[in-house]
Amino acid sequence: MQGGKITVALVGNPNCGKTTLLNRITRSKESVGNYPRVTVALKRKEFTHQGQVIELIDLPGIYALTSQTPEEREARDFIHSGQVDIIINVLDACNLERSLFLTSQLIEMGHPLLFVLNMADEARSKKLQIDTQGLSSMLGGSVFETVGTTGEGLKELLDGVVMLHAQKTRREPIFLTYDDHLEQSVRRVQRLVTELHPKALDHHQSRWLAIKLLEGDDRILLQEGEHAHLLEMVHRERYDLARSHGEECDLLFAMARYGFTHGVVEEVVQGPSEGEMVRDWTGRLDQVFLHRFFGIPLLLVLLWIMFQSTFSLGKIPMGWIDASVSWVSEWVSGQLPEGMVHDLVVDGIIAGVGGTVVFLPNIVILFFFMAMFSETGYLARAAFLVDRSMHTFGLHGKALIPLVMGFGCNVPAVMATRTIEDYRSRMITILISPFMLCSARLPVFILFAGAFFSEKAGTMVLLMYVLSIVVAMGAAVILNRLFLRSDDDAFVMELPPYRLPTLRAIMIHMGDRVIGFLQKVAGVILVGSIIIWFLQEFPHHQTLSQDYDREISQLALMPQTLQNEEIITALKMKKAQEELEQSYLGQIARTIAPVFVPLHFTWKDTVAILTGFVAKEVVVASYAVLYSQGDRAAENSESLRKALSHSMTPIVAFTFMLFALLYAPCLGTIATIGREAGGWIWAGYSVAFSMTLAYGLSFLVVQIGGLLL
Amino acid sequence: MEYSLIDLEPGESGLIKGIVGSSQSKKRLMAMGIIQGKEITVETVAPMGDPRIYSVLGYRLSMRNVEAQNIRIVRN
Ligand SMILES: Nc1nc2c(ncn2[C@@H]2O[C@H](COP(=O)(O)OP(=O)(O)OP(=O)(O)O)[C@@H](O)[C@H]2O)c(=O)[nH]1
Ligand SMILES: [Mg+2]
């Protein structure tokens, strides 16, 4: 394929810096994080180096090619798919011995390979010296030292890719040699493989196939399923080997591989011993953050600081945005002549979009903290700390990461469940992720908490977070009963060293959320606001119960008294109210509203709930549009809060918050659940489950609350 | 004398002798460096005693005690 595109795949252990390298090389902004298994689906990016078009593919991290989880299989199948021209095997320079286990499997495949020693900066500071020349000759491919976070060594690496492709002459592939017994078995199986695939396979490929068969690789066994006597032979060889060595055959191969990696490390690495490697500042920090008694309180304090800052710090820029929105609204209002267009722009668009965009600062701050947690390596520790508690709810400690991500957006949260190996455990996590209070729902709660519980607004919002967790855990328990217990007890997780977050990584985290939010504001919120405005403005020919206009004009002719003014205002509001009720929106909502009567929601709340199905931010935009109608001043959030606060009692307001927290996930999440869980039935199940729970709990709260207060 | 990994106290270490259990979990552990002859040390214990963090091959990994029970070791 001279002159064509080169397809290059990044293959390596989780958390060795593959995505960081991809981001650097192709100037992309894919998510990174200092915990294993951030990337769960493959990402392709194209770029040009020395005039050569290169497609770089970032794969989920894997420890071996004989893997089990969905994202590991995706990586493995892609490597075997034949689409890859060159594999870049990314190695964590500080973790060479383990990283080379995967390498030993890659080498045998005989694919053109390059090796990257990433995290070279950390290796230097640990005084590890790696002989790259020696490594290169032992692995049979060029070795490059890189630092993903600064971009050091990337130019050389890319030059190496282009060169390797241009030469096209492969170096003589390296063979791992096994001890006598294994070697003889491999040869015997290889001979039969060659007979069965005459002329199709070279020596290297048939050897690889034989090794894979003996290692019990389920994919290859399936592929060779038609050759019954080959499988029979493999089975017999495996059995004989296991009997004569007293160990399972897979283990014998794994041991041979570690023999190889150990040999390589002995040869090329100089520096601290294994024991000294973990006596570092990560160890000292762990003594604090993972302290037996203070570890969990510290986690709670950190979370509290995160939420508190989100609201208290967020208030200041919120005020500025609010003021600007009012200013724009007034200015536009002055520019446009009275009429439909004026109302559409001011009451529809500016009210809806402005009412939502004020929450941007909260989202920025929340994500700053989330980025810090995940980039420092604390998030992985948090999963470790809560694993035991999660286990009592039938959840996996690893579920913490998707659930915490759910605070941002439920869509990536559902995707992140891919790292959970056990099927049932994963399904349960998928079904409860939508209960996590995502940043789209945050504006609803900030609005309501401010309107009804002004003194304790911060606490109320925190309470909603607590409720979201409590309900999620409760739901997990229920689902566990329904589904039978999940029986997977594995929690093998690599704990990365603490790292100083880079500005770039933090910006990627925050930028993602901010851009996503603004895109929604410019898209679904804008459209939603316009539609809601139209639905409530039309039809225009309504029959009102009184001739308000005449009464008002008559009153206006009379001498101006205070009492008179009040009557006029009251009449105007009554008129607006009646118009709204007769509008299309009012008609639709009132058809459905009876369903929500037991919860004491009005038809306006019904409108907000309906629109929230699309995306939860639209709930706020709906209120903003609904309440800007009768009351001219309701374009900024201050007056929206006031208008809202007269519309329901605090207990109903709380019920509404609860309902908004729990009812059906937004369309995006529903679609993701359908895709990830592998069936639309799951999406339907999720909607039904969350609606039932939302309605049931809200009903209980409003009824019991009504009795108590 | 052979022990299982959970018999080790924090700070103690041992040499891995082997793994018992399903072949799937064995494969998973082997790929992460839990392999015969390697030294393993208990580093940190979670608040309720489970899971624990171990160091092996110069890096840290956490495991629940039910898994650790399947890993046979000899004390150093
Ligand atoms: N000090 C240092 N940190 C790095 C380097 N490369 C990456 N990192 C950090 O290591 C962490 C993991 O990087 P990722 O790029 O997410 O790793 P990955 O290989 O894509 O991981 P998975 O997607 O989980 O398989 C991040 O916190 C990076 O900022 C490096 O060369 N030096
Ligand atoms: Mg990644």
Instruction: Give the nearest partner residue to B46 out of A275, A387, A492, using CB atoms.
Output: A387
Query: pLDDT tens digits for A393-413?
Result: 888 877 887 888 788 778 878
Chain B residues closer than 8 Å to A282 by CB: 60
CATH code, residues A6-165: 3.40.50.300
pLDDT in tens, A208-265: 889 989 988 878 888 888 888 899 999 999 999 999 988 888 888 999 999 999 999 9
Closest CA to A690 of A420, A468, A443, A397: A468
Burial status of residue A555 (CB atoms within 10 A of its CB: 0-12, 13-18, 19 or more): middle
Query: Six-digit token pair at A353?
Result: 């979009």
Count of CB contacts below 8 A, A vs B? 133
- In this complex, the residue of B18, B28, B32 whose CB is nearest that of residue A68 is B28
**Angstrom distance (rounded) from CA A410 to CA A544:** 45
| Nearest CA residue ID for atom 8, ligand 1 | A17
Q: Whose CA is nearest to atom 11 of ligand 1?
A: A34
Q: Which residue has the higher pLDDT, A449 or A55?
A: A55
Proximal ligand: closest to the CA of A148: 1
* CATH assignment of B2-75, among 3.60.15.10, 2.30.30.90, 2.40.110.10, 3.40.120.10: 2.30.30.90
- Residue from B64, B65, B66, B72 to probe the interface with A (highest A Cβ count within 10 Å): B64
Kindly report the nearest CA distance between residue A115 and chain B, in angstroms: 19
User: B16 contacts in A (CB within 8 Å)?
Assistant: none
Nearest Cα to B23, choosing from B70, B72, B58?
Answer: B70
3-state SS class at B45: strand
To the nearest whole Å, the CA of B1 is away from the closest chain A CA by 19
What is the position in ligand 1's atom list of the atom closest to the CA of A18?
Answer: 19
Domain with CATH 1.10.287.1770 in chain A: 180-277
What are the pLDDT digits (tens) for A680-700?
A: 899 999 999 999 999 999 999
Containing A418, the helix (H) or strand (E) segment is none
**pLDDT range class, residue A637, cuts 50, 70, 90:** low
The pLDDT tens digits of the residues spanning A572-621 come to 777 777 777 788 888 888 888 899 999 999 888 988 888 887 778 778 87
Q: What percent of chain A has pLDDT over 70?
A: 95
B45 contacts on A by Cβ (under 8 Å) = 292
Average pLDDT score over chain A: 85
The angle at the Cα of A667, spanning A664 to A672, to the nearest 5 degrees, equals 100
CA trace torsion A590, A595, A596, A598 (10° rounding): 130
Is residue A576 within 8 Å of residue A592, measured between CB atoms? Answer: no
Give mean pLDDT, residues A553-567. 77
Q: For residue A250, what pLDDT is reported?
A: 85
Query: For residue A315, what are its two tokens?
Result: 């208030």
Mutation probe of ligand 1 site: the residue of A20, A89, A126, A157 with most atoms within 8 A of C-beta? A20
Chain B residues within 8 A of A290 when measuring between CB atoms: 44, 46, 53
Residue at token pair 């008559």: A554
- Where are the CATH 3.40.50.300 domain residues in chain A? 6-165
- Starting from the CA of residue A63, give the closest ligand: 1
| pLDDT given for residue A279 in this prediction | 80
CA of A263 to the centre of ligand 2 (A): 29
- Give which of A94, A90, A171 is closest to A125, Cα–Cα: A94
A491, A494, A498: best to mutate for the B interface, most B CBs within 10 A: A491
According to the per-residue pLDDT averaged within each range, which of A11-20, A216-225, A313-322, A564-573 is highest? A11-20
At residue A396, the 3 state secondary structure works out as coil
Query: Any residues with CB less than 8 A from the CB of A470 and at least 6 apart, and which?
Result: none
Weakest-pLDDT range from A67-81, A639-653, B61-75? A67-81
Gap from CA of A507 to ligand 1 centroid (Å)? 15
In angstroms, the CA A43 to CA A558 distance is 73
CA distance A83 to A238: 32
Are residues B57 and A274, on separate chains, in Cβ contact within 8 Å? Answer: yes
Residue pLDDT, tens place only, A140-191:
899 999 999 999 999 999 999 999 988 865 566 778 888 888 999 999 999 9
Mutate which of A247, A274, A487 to test chain B, going by most B C-beta atoms within 10 A? A274
What's the pTM value of the predicted model, to 2 decimals?
Answer: 0.83
In this complex, do A63 and B31 lie within 8 Å of one another by their Cβ atoms?
yes
Backbone angles phi, psi at A142, to 5 degrees: -65, 150
Which residues does a 6 A CB cutoff place in the pocket of ligand 1? A 14-20, 32-34, 36-39, 60-61, 118-119, 121-122, 147-149, 375, 499, 502, 505
Mutate to test the pocket of ligand 1, among A10, A99, A149, A401 (most ligand atoms within 8 A of CB): A149
Domain spanning A180-277, CATH architecture: Orthogonal Bundle (1.10)
Contact B32 A98 (CB under 8 A): yes
Dig out the tokens for B56 from the structure: 């092996």
